[in-house]
Chains A and B, each alone.
Chain A
Amino acid sequence: MATRKNVRNLTSTEKQNLIDAIKAVKADGIYDIYVNWHTAALSYPTPSGVSPSYRNAAHRGPAFLPWHRYYLHRFELQLQAKIPDVTIPYWDWTQDTASPANSPIWAVDFLGGNGDPNDSNQVKTGPFAVGQWTVVGENGSNRTRGLARRFGQQASTVPNQTQVNTALGETPYDRTNWDANSSPSHRNRLEGFLSGGGQLHNQVHRWVGGDMLTNPSPNDPVFWLHHSNVDRIWALWQTNNPSQGYLPASGGPTGHNLNDSMYPWNGQATTLTARPSDVLSISALGYDYA
Chain B
Amino acid sequence: MFSNFSRRQFFRLIGFSLAGITAIGSIPFIGKFFANKAQAQEAVTQEVYRGRNYRIVNNPVDNTPATIRDGTRTIQTPYDRPVRLFIDDREVDVIRNKSSNKYVTYLLPFSEFNSVRELARTLIELNVAIPNGQSLNLNAT
Q: Which residues of A contact B (CB under 8 A)?
A: 30, 32-34, 36-37, 39-40, 42-43, 47, 49-54, 56, 59-60, 74, 120, 137-141, 143, 145, 148, 154, 176-181, 192-193, 195, 201-202, 205-206, 210-211, 213-215, 217, 248, 251-254, 257, 264, 269-272
Which residues of chain B come closer than 8 Å to A154, judged between CB atoms? 111
**Pair A213/B110 contact, Cβ less than 8 Å:** yes
Which residues of chain A come closer than 8 Å to B108, judged between CB atoms? 213-214
Cross-chain pairs A/B with CB under 8 angstroms, 10 sampled: A30-B140, A32-B137, A120-B127, A138-B107, A138-B129, A139-B129, A181-B99, A206-B110, A251-B71, A252-B71
The verdict on A215 contacting B70 (CB below 8 Å), with A74-B141, A180-B97 known, is no
Which residues of chain A come closer than 8 Å to B106, judged between CB atoms? 42-43, 51-53, 56, 59, 215
Closest 8 CB pairs of A and B: A33-B140, A205-B110, A36-B136, A202-B110, A52-B106, A138-B129, A251-B72, A53-B106
A39 to B99, CA, bound (A): 26
The verdict on A54 contacting B110 (CB below 8 Å), with A140-B136, A214-B128 known, is no
- A54, A137, A178, A192: the one contacting B79 at CB < 8 Å is A54
**Pair A51/B95 contact, Cβ less than 8 Å:** yes
**Given A53-B106, A137-B129; 11 other pairs, CB 8 A cutoff:** A33-B138, A33-B139, A36-B137, A53-B105, A138-B129, A140-B134, A148-B126, A180-B97, A217-B110, A270-B138, A270-B140
The verdict on A52 contacting B93 (CB below 8 Å), with A34-B140, A43-B106 known, is yes
B19 contacts the other chain (CB 8 A): no
The verdict on A42 contacting B109 (CB below 8 Å), with A177-B70, A210-B126, A214-B128 known, is yes
Closest-by-CB residue of A relative to B141 is: A272
**Pair A53/B136 contact, Cβ less than 8 Å:** no
**Pair A253/B71 contact, Cβ less than 8 Å:** yes
How far does the Cβ of A80 sit from chain B's closest Cβ, in whole Å? 13
**Pair B105/A253 contact, Cβ less than 8 Å:** no
**B-side binding surface: helix, strand, loop or mixed?**
loop
Most buried by A among B105, B106, B107, B129: B106
A269 to B136, CA, bound (A): 10
Closest-by-CB residue of A relative to B133 is: A139
A129 to B116, CA, bound (A): 32
Which residues of chain A come closer than 8 Å to B126, judged between CB atoms? 148, 210-211, 213-214
How far does the Cβ of A246 sit from chain B's closest Cβ, in whole Å? 15
**A-side binding surface: helix, strand, loop or mixed?**
loop
Which residues of chain B come closer than 8 Å to A217, judged between CB atoms? 109-110
**Pair B138/A269 contact, Cβ less than 8 Å:** yes
Count of B interface residues, CB-CB < 8 Å? 39
How far does the Cβ of B40 sit from chain A's closest Cβ, in whole Å? 28
How far does the Cβ of A108 sit from chain B's closest Cβ, in whole Å? 25
B87 contacts the other chain (CB 8 A): no
- A53, A140, A251: the one contacting B94 at CB < 8 Å is A53
Which residues of chain A come closer than 8 Å to B105, judged between CB atoms? 53
How far does the Cβ of A62 sit from chain B's closest Cβ, in whole Å? 11
A267 to B68, CA, bound (A): 27
Most buried by B among A49, A51, A154, A254: A51
- B109, B111, B132, B138: the one contacting A37 at CB < 8 Å is B138
Which residues of chain A come closer than 8 Å to B137, judged between CB atoms? 32-33, 36, 140
- B104, B111, B128, B141: the one contacting A206 at CB < 8 Å is B111
A213 to B140, CA, bound (A): 24
Within 8 A of A (CB), among B74-101: 75, 78-79, 93-95, 97, 99-100
